[in-house]
Amino acid sequence: MKTPNMINAKKRNVKAPEYISYDKKYSNFGKNKKYYVRTYGCQMNEHDSEKIKGMLETVGFTSCESVEEADIVILNTCAIRENAHDKVFGFLGVLKHIKDTTNPDLLIGVCGCMSQEAVVVKEILSKYKYVDFVCGTHNLDNLLSIIKNKIDTNKMQVEVESYEGDIVENIPVDRDSKYSAWVDIIYGCDKFCTYCIVPYTRGSQRSRKKEDILEEIKKLKEDGYKEVTLLGQNVNAYGKDLYDNYNLANLLKDVSDIGIDRIRFVTSHPWDFTDEMVDIIAERDNIMPYIHLPLQSGSNKILKLMNRRYTKEDYLKLYNSIREKVKNSSITTDIIVGFPGETEEDFEETLDVVNKCKFDGAFTFAFSKRENTPAALMKETVSEEEKLDRLHRLNEVVNKYSNMANKKMMGKTVKCLVTSLSDKDKNKVCGYTENMKLVNIKGDKSLIGKIVDVKITDTKSFSLDGEYVE
Ligand code: 5AD
Ligand code: SF4
């Protein structure tokens, strides 16, 4: 058993990671068995779940639609806020019921960021003894051997490394989409924003080699993929740990040269965002004009307490430069309210930035205290009631601007990558514009997988309606 240690997780390895290739072989121990994977949290986790599924399939497991049919259920968890915890523990309760009643042989596993948290593993060991295995983020490539050990020994397996290990290339992956693919470019984060648990759960910043990334994208293009999204907690730091003279701007240029139709990237940190990067996004038609640029707060005092390394003025300068240079761009953001020490005046500074930027959309959060982060030691000064009140006031302003941004699209004919049938109406399909607006499209399912012209016929707060233009 190896349990997480948050103190070790904070340390940064001086040793550079090894780059190795996944070449594990197992017997077909999943034959005739079904898996169900539930994913919480960010796009990195979505992609990790594709790897979990890919690995399970190599030993014979097949997917199923519901937990009732499953032989193994894996929760790929998120630790970013307390409410993510509550959802996971709630779902574990549902699985316990299935194990107690209809399927005593059900295997239950916990992966992802929560498994890197000492308090969580302690809680599982004391109160959730029916969990069969816990696998950390740094040793996900060992998942199959952990499951096999559980089956062979019938003992709970807890294998969580607190030091990031090697970069493992070629982990089998079962992608959710045939048209749009996630591609990791950098793992971990070294920014240590004081509220954030990610630098502890995902370890130090480690870039994949550019050759491996470019090779993966060439192959995706050959396989018919239309879009790639480059992934990292802070993609703008790409290359810093690996190269003297090769950064995200260089990588974007090389990916663009491959000629895949659409390139996206998430998430950006304003501090590492250079003019060179803005210029390449502006220059290249296949780099999509959509940028997620977390603000977190508009108050310089709070930004400093958050250790964000930029001021309100720096943010606005970068924001305006992107808006000026990148045609038809759309910019979204993340904002936290109720950080320790945030006064009404600080909150108004945030509203001021929102009013100046008129974001296309924003994900807004109430500050949530995370174990072992520096902000957890700061005295909370904003009551839960006040946090909710600020969140509510912020959302009203944010929604006003996202509505306005959507309205600007009315009547325009824009390119959409059609990805699936519409959730809202099975007679429609849906897809995304270049600037990442969701459109429900009147059109036939034969459009799925294609980039087509769509005329926008109506706008809502969080989506658009449109018609296929032949
Ligand atoms: N409390 C509230 N929101 C948080 N985020 C990260 N950590 C916390 C926290 N402790 C938000 C940030 C980040 C987004 C992914 O989640 O806004 O950009
Ligand atoms: Fe967390 Fe800050 Fe790193 Fe983003 S940049 S993952 S908010 S520490």
- In the chain, the domains with their CATH numbers are 6-159 (3.40.50.2300), 177-288 (3.30.750.210), 289-408 (3.30.750.200), 413-468 (2.40.50.140)
| Ligand 1 atom 2 nearest Cα | 367
Whether 113 lines ligand 1, by a CB cut-off of 6 Å, is: no
Distance 85 CA to ligand 1 centre (A): 14
- Contact status, residue 437 vs residue 361, Cβ threshold 8 Å: no
This prediction's pTM: 0.96
In the structure encoding, which two tokens stand for residue 446, read together?
Answer: 């034969």
Question: For ligand 1, is residue 70 a contact (CB within 6 Å)?
Answer: no
The CA 325 to ligand 2 mean position distance, Å, reads 26
Going from the Cα of 139 to the center of ligand 2, the distance in angstroms, rounded, reads: 21
Token pair belonging to 280: 């390449």
The CA distance from 362 to 393, in Å, is 13
Strand 62-63's sheet: what is its strand order?
A: 62-63, 34-39, 72-77, 107-112, 133-135, 157-159
- Ligand 1, atom 9: nearest CA belongs to which residue? 368
Separation of CA 99 and ligand 2 centre (Å): 37
Atom of ligand 2 nearest to the CA of 334: 7
Return the half-sphere exposure (C-beta side, CA atoms, 13 A cut-off) of residue 33: 21
Ligand 2: distance of its center to the CA of 310 in Å? 13
Alpha-carbon distances of 335 from 83, 184, 386, rounded to whole Å: 17, 24, 16
Closest by CA to 286, choosing from 266, 319, 315, 263, is 263
Q: Which of 43, 202, 336 for mutating ligand 1's site (highest number of atoms within 8 Å of CB)?
A: 336
CA 147 to ligand 1 center in whole angstroms:
32
Query: How many other C-beta atoms lie within 10 A of the C-beta of residue 243?
Result: 14
How far apart are the CA of 94 and the centre of ligand 1, in A? 27
**Going by CA atoms, what residue is nearest to atom 7 of ligand 1?**
196
Asked if 193 contacts 334 with a C-beta cutoff of 8 angstroms, the reply is no
Q: Burial, 224: exposed, middle or buried (Cβ in 10 Å; 0-12, 13-18, 19+)?
A: exposed
| Pocket of ligand 2 contains residue 10 by CB under 6 Å | no
Query: Which pLDDT tens digits describe the chain residue by residue (470 residues)?
Result: 888 887 777 777 667 788 999 999 999 999 999 999 999 999 999 999 999 999 999 999 999 999 999 999 999 999 999 988 889 999 999 999 999 999 999 999 999 999 999 999 999 999 999 999 999 999 999 999 999 999 999 999 999 988 887 899 999 999 999 999 999 999 999 999 999 999 999 999 999 999 999 999 999 999 999 999 999 999 999 999 999 999 999 999 999 999 999 999 999 999 999 999 999 999 999 999 999 999 999 999 999 999 999 999 999 999 999 999 999 999 999 999 999 999 999 999 999 999 999 999 999 999 999 988 999 999 999 999 999 999 999 999 999 999 999 999 999 999 999 999 998 888 899 999 999 999 999 989 999 999 999 999 999 988 999 999 98
Confidence at residue 13, expressed as pLDDT on a 0 to 100 scale: 65
- Assess whether the C-beta atom of 45 lies below 6 angstroms from ligand 1: no
Q: Give the residue, by CA position, lying nearest to ligand 2 atom 2.
A: 193
Answer whether 198 contacts ligand 2 (Cβ < 6 A): yes
Ligand nearest to the CA of 369: 1
Residue 7's contacts (CB-CB under 8 Å, 6 or more residues apart) are 372
Q: Which ligand is nearest to the CA of 194?
A: 2
- Ligand 2 atom with the smallest distance to the CA of 192 is 8
What DSSP line would sit under 193-245, residue for residue? Answer: -TT--HHHHS-S-EEPPHHHHHHHHHHHHHTT--EEEEE-TTGGGTTTTT-SS
Pocket test for ligand 2, best of 236, 269, 271, 370 (most atoms within 8 A of CB): 269
